[in-house]
Structure 1
Amino acid sequence: MGYYAGWAAYQGYTPDQLPAEKLTQINYAFAEIDPVAGRIALGDEPNDLKNLKALRKLRSQHPHLKLLISVGGWSDSQYFSDVASTQARREKFAASCVDFVVEHGLDGVDLDWEYPVSGGAPGTIHRNQDKQNFTLLLQELRERLDHQERQDRREYSLTIAGAAGAWYLSQIEPVKVAALVDHIFLMGYDLHGTWNSRTGLNAPLNPVSHASQAGGSIAGSVQAYLERGVPAEKIVLGTPLYGYLYQGVSSRNNGLYSTYTSGKSISYQTLKKTYLASSAYRQFRHEEGQVPYLYGNGTFLSYDDAASIAAKASLARSLGLGGVGFWELSQDSGGELVSAAVQALHSSWDNPFRDVLPGVWYEDAVRYVYEREMMQGTSASAFSPNTSSNRGMLTAILYRLEGSPRSGEPPFTDVAADAYYGQAVAWAEKHGIVQGFDDGTFRPGARITRQQLAAVLFRYADFKGEAGRGRADLSAYQDGNRVEVYAREAMAWAVDAGLIQGLADGRLDPGGTATRAQTAVILQRLCEQVLEA
């Protein structure tokens, strides 16, 4: 689910541009509370009515989509305490919300009270009784929506937005609230921001061991909800489509945990266009928090990218949460982060690699070789898809395919028997799958080219009796004549078997380095199209 803010239309991002096919619910933000009447009200009526009409049209094209009106938010939560304070006021406000939903053809109400009891924007009214009154307000809304359901014979949803942090859970009645709502949008962001005295990470996935990063973590926030009795399926993990920009920042520690002179929020779309595209800013990734950040020109930026958003969606999937959500959809107008989250949420494998994003062209291949123990990560959380494959690594992979038979001493001066590829090289050389150099070396760490990869795999397929007779005409490729003599038959076989394909510009690129991602893809094809065919 995602929030769509009415003001986004003024910036050119209209409801028809929303990625409805990737969403099940859109919350329109925000309606406000009329303090005199104690009823729901629109703050920018002409624009809001136009947007609501466009959203209904969008839903007609995507019937699975639910549209909810969201009330409150940071700027418009001043009067929640008042409308929740007595039974009569709760009844009036709840009735106005249901009337609004029916009048505008919506599917429910989302309450974004920031916050009961304490906190929120200056001027927000608080009462000690807000904790209990919030539950009573939700109960009144739930009963009225249920009554309307029976009349209209259609479902109406009731949801809320909740802050990330145990402090918020002490200001509501979590179990009672969860029983009344369809889900809680856990606002998984603003754990650190421009209200802090030093720069920091907006939404780290995991705890960060630094005194300046005292706001906790997303994983910790989810755990706090679960420990307070909120069912996992009632939690939608909200993710930020924005970051924070800090200026006047020291270069020490690349700007992280530094003092600053000014700061503001920045959308991912703007950050990508202005900062990620500039060579003046260096990109870093916080290994503990599993989120990226930038530094350059005295400016520090904390944000989320496709990898970190996918990691959060994977957390939601692994814990059986109700889903993932986004604030705010116009800030990712290209849909890059939303797509990464949706693909990760629906992924069918427990991907340990933060650098293998859901939906990338090599994801299935990495899963294939990883689950069959043909290839491993370069660390527990990284596959390094763009790193070059080398001769030792490829030989070890083929050796694992053969069940790792004991093969004696490797015959090369630079291959130790106890190296991870030692026995593999001895086995492969014995069967003519790999060869050494004239100086008696094997050079296991040398990068392997595409034609070298083809040659080794061809010899392996021949060893297995699976080389066949099919050979492609390499002259069909503009650089087919650049394949070296030793690899011509092997490359012709690999192309005919579908293992190696031409690049988008019509080249085979025989001398180009084979990356780990390419190697994974080719190995999957070898197994499925040659060895298992």
Structure 2
Amino acid sequence: MRLFSKPMRAAAAALLLLTGAAAALSAARPFRPKPVVIAYVGGFRGLIPDPASIAVEKLTHINYAFVDVQRGEAWLTNLATDTVNFRHLNALKSRNPDLKILISIGGWSWSENFSDAVLTDAGRKLFAHTSVDIIRKYGLDGVDIDWEYPGVAGEEGNVFRPEDKQNYTLMFQAIRASLDSLEKETGVKKLLTTAVGGGKYFVEHTEMAEAAKYLDFVNIMSYDYKTNPNGIAGHHTNLFGSTDNPEESSAHRSVGLFLDAGVPAEKIVMGIAFYGRGWKVGSDTARGLNRKATGGYRGGGYAFIKDSLPAKGFERHWDKRAKAPYLWHPGQQVFISFDDERSVKEKCRYVKKHDLAGVMFWEYSSDPKGYLLDAINKAF
């Protein structure tokens, strides 16, 4: 009995050839994992408001901010609320079983004790042990270090010293060793990541090529490029520079600095600001862009910027060169820099084009309506 006619056999053969060619092409292409989307979720104010509303289906990681450093140990300063927050965040895995939850240690306000904590081998082991003990106790997935900043001043009063450069690397070595021990206990992969400043100062005071060997992701804080209320009003989270100055801060320049410092592209995560920064300026020239400021102005979270400020006389403009939006109020002479859906799309396109690991953002509660997270989700 003939199962197939001659034309059918010919069609089947052609289909097999096409399938084989597609398989060969697929095999030749390097595997590119889907970009990560890391949300910093703040617990430093107390209980996370309405944690069930977090759109975890659109996230790959949550970095819980922050855990303090006290007496050389990773320390839950807000123990009563932190433990409740951990329980609520873990419950979100019922909606996204692949979600990873990390503790983020430090931040702007709690980085003053890093230098002392990791000064000696014994100190590093204690800090590593207490960091990992938190994720062991509460069933979390990893540790994120947000030291602002090794080797240079961050917040006024922070301790820093030249030895931070080597101790920064040795700290990660110690934490990775403790995480490896936990992995053997649980049989589950544990993550080690870090948030880094986006400027040249950071790579000059660290050994990023060595540190990266222990890290899963390097989260570049590609925002807060301009913060001085009496400095220059300009973009604080721009993708590219807006001037001819090759030293102008931008996410593109930050990525280049860390690539040149030896961090692999597949470990680099680009930062997105879910908030704005504002300045009052003395002149309406260029709608305030790159003009001398006379004082600061509250920018607010993105949902507030999008929903409230246009009705108050603010005009939105787009800087084609920087791939960044800004608001200008001609009457009050106020300039506000921020990320919006268009700039987020540009950043995500850049991440995919340059084979970076993905994006992260600070901070989830600044955009409760999910405008920017939706834009990230659509871009990826």
Partners of 1:171 and 1:63 lie apart in 2 by 38
Distance 2:304 2:44 in 1: 16
What is the CA-CA distance between 1:158 and the residue it aligns to? Answer: 0.5
The one of 50, 53, 59 equivalent to 1:14 is 50
Which of these residues, 286, 307, 310, is aligned with residue 319 of structure 2?
A: 286
User: After TM superposition, where is structure 1 displaced by more than 6 Å over at least 4 residues in a row?
Assistant: none
Displacement after TM superposition at 1:183 (Å): 0.6
Q: CA deviation at 1:252?
A: 2.6
User: In 2, are the aligned partners of 1:194 and 1:244 still within 8 Å (CA)?
Assistant: no
Counterparts of 1:249 and 1:295 in 2: how far apart (Å)?
A: 13
Relative distance call for 1:174 and 1:153 in structure 2 (3 A) is same
SS in 2 for 1:258: strand
Secondary structure at the counterpart of residue 184 of structure 1: strand
Larger deviation: 190-199 or 278-287? 190-199
For residues 227-246 of structure 1, what are the structure 2 equivalents within 5 Å? 227-246=260-279
- Which residue does 1:324 correspond to in 2? 359
Are 1:193 and 1:200, in contact at CA under 8 Å, matched by a contact in 2? no
Aligned to 2:148: 114
SS of aligned partner of 1:124: coil
User: What secondary structure, in the 3-state scheme, does the structure 2 residue paired with 1:260 have?
Assistant: strand
> Hey, which of these two has a bigger chunk of strand by percent?
2
Q: Corresponding residue for 2:339? A: 304
SS at match of 1:118: coil
The yes-or-no answer on 1:295 pairing with 2:321 is no
Take 1:117 and 1:187, find their aligned partners in 2: how far apart are those partners?
17
The 8 Å contact of residues 229 and 279 in structure 2, kept in 1 or not, is answered as no
Q: Does 1:194 align with 2:228?
A: yes
State how far apart, in whole Å, the 2-side matches of 1:246 and 1:119 are.
Answer: 24
Match of 2:30 in 1: none
Aligned length: 340
Question: Any idea what SS the aligned residue of 2:82 has?
Answer: helix
What residue is the counterpart of 2:24 in the other structure?
Answer: none
Q: In the alignment, does 2:69 pair up with 1:33?
A: yes
1:296-338 Cα distance to aligned partner (Å, 9 max, x none):
1332111111000110111011000111111111111111111
Unaligned runs of 5+ in 2: 1-37
Matches of residues 8-407 of structure 1 in structure 2 within 5 Å?
13-35=49-71, 38-195=72-229, 197-209=231-243, 215-247=248-280, 249-256=282-289, 257-276=291-310, 278=311, 280-296=313-329, 297-344=332-379, 346=380
The answer to whether the 8 A contact 1:183-1:236 is kept is yes
Partner Cα distance (1:309, 1:319) in 2? 15
AA of the residue aligned to 2:42 = A
Letter in 1 for 2:179: L
- Alpha-carbon distance in structure 1 between the residues aligned to 2:320 and 2:163: 42
- Structure 1 CA distance, aligned partners of 2:237 and 2:256? 15
**TM-score, structure 1 length as denominator?**
0.61
State the SS of the aligned residue for 2:225.
Answer: coil
Over 3 Å counting, the alpha-carbon distance change for 1:332 and 1:129 in structure 2 is same
- Report the counterpart of residue 4 of structure 2 in structure 1: none
- Identity fraction in percent: 35
Instruction: Give the CA deviation at 1:163.
Output: 1.0
Distance 1:327 1:220, change over 3 A: same
User: How far is the alpha carbon of 1:265 from its aligned partner?
Assistant: 4.5
Aligned-residue offset at 1:53: 1.1
SS of residue in 2 equivalent to 1:2: strand
* Residue in structure 1 matched with residue 33 of structure 2 by the alignment: none
**C-alpha RMSD of the superposition:** 1.8
Query: SS state of the match for residue 333, structure 1?
Result: coil
Q: Which has the higher contact order (CA 8 A, sep 6+)?
A: 2
Larger Rg: 1
CA distance in 2, matches of 1:119, 1:127: 9
Tell me the amino acid that sits aligned with residue 4 of structure 1.
V
Question: Structure 2: how far apart are the matches of 1:262 and 1:303?
Answer: 14
Gaps of 5+ in 1: 347-533
Cα contact 1:182–1:234 (8 A) shared by 2: yes
AA aligned opposite 1:114 = E
Letter in 2 for 1:308: S
1:14, 1:51 within 8 Å by CA — same for their partners in 2?
A: no
Q: Is the CA contact 1:190–1:203 (under 8 Å) kept in the aligned structure 2?
A: yes
2:17 corresponds to which residue? none
1:248 Cα deviation after fit: 5.5
Deviations 1:145-189 (A, max 9, x none): 011101111111000001112221111111111110111111111
**Paired AA for residue 340 in structure 1:** A
How many angstroms apart in 2 are the aligned matches of 1:103 and 1:64? 20
After the TM superposition, which residues 341-490 of structure 1 pair with which residues of structure 2 at under 5 Å, given as runs? 341-344=376-379, 346=380
Give SS of 1:283's match.
strand
> Aligned equivalents of 1:136 and 1:322: distance in 2?
24
Deviation at 1:194, TM superposition (A): 3.0
CA distance in 2, matches of 1:8, 1:214: 36
Amino acid at match of 2:41: Y
**Tell me, what secondary structure is at the counterpart of 2:232?**
coil
State whether residues 67 and 106 of structure 2, in contact with CA within 8 Å, keep that contact through their aligned partners in structure 1. Answer: yes
